[in-house]
Amino acid sequence: MKLSFLYQRVDDLAESVAYYRDALGWEEAWREGTDTVAFWLPNRETQLMLSSTPQPAGPMFLVDSLADWLAEHSDLAIAVPAYDIPGGSVAGLQAPSGHVVYVFDQPDA
């Protein structure tokens, strides 16, 4: 597992983008449609992903195969059922403290 993204749900994407770009000076990494923008964190190993989609915020960890990883960890509670993302799929796990931890793959990216 590799920490790739810190996913943060936002109500106003344009306002949030302006904050990270203009106030903090972070570099935009990519955009997906009109609801998601990612920024490089200063270490350039991880990105902050801002999105107006409804899923709860949480860290996102890259694995080789989401299906295989979930099968190997079938005892973990699912908070966000697996769904397709560009080049792969993602699922959210319910952590004991109530937050969500995401696991995703991107074999087609």
Which residues are paired to 32 by β-bridges?
36
Domain with residue 12: its CATH number is 3.10.180.10
- Average pLDDT of the chain, as a whole number: 94
- How many domains, in total, are found in the chain? 1
Q: Specify which residues 47 forms β-bridges with.
A: 5, 40
- Full residue range of the structural domain in which residue 21 is found: 2-105
- With b for 16 or more beta-carbon neighbours within 10 A and e for fewer, the 24-43 pattern comes to eebeeeeeeeeebbbbbbee
Q: What is the pLDDT of residues 48-94, one digit of tens each?
A: 999 998 899 999 999 999 999 999 999 999 999 999 999 999 999 99
User: Residue 43: what pLDDT?
Assistant: 79
Assigned token pair, 33: 């449609």
Enter the pTM of the model: 0.88
Which amino acid type is present at position 72? E
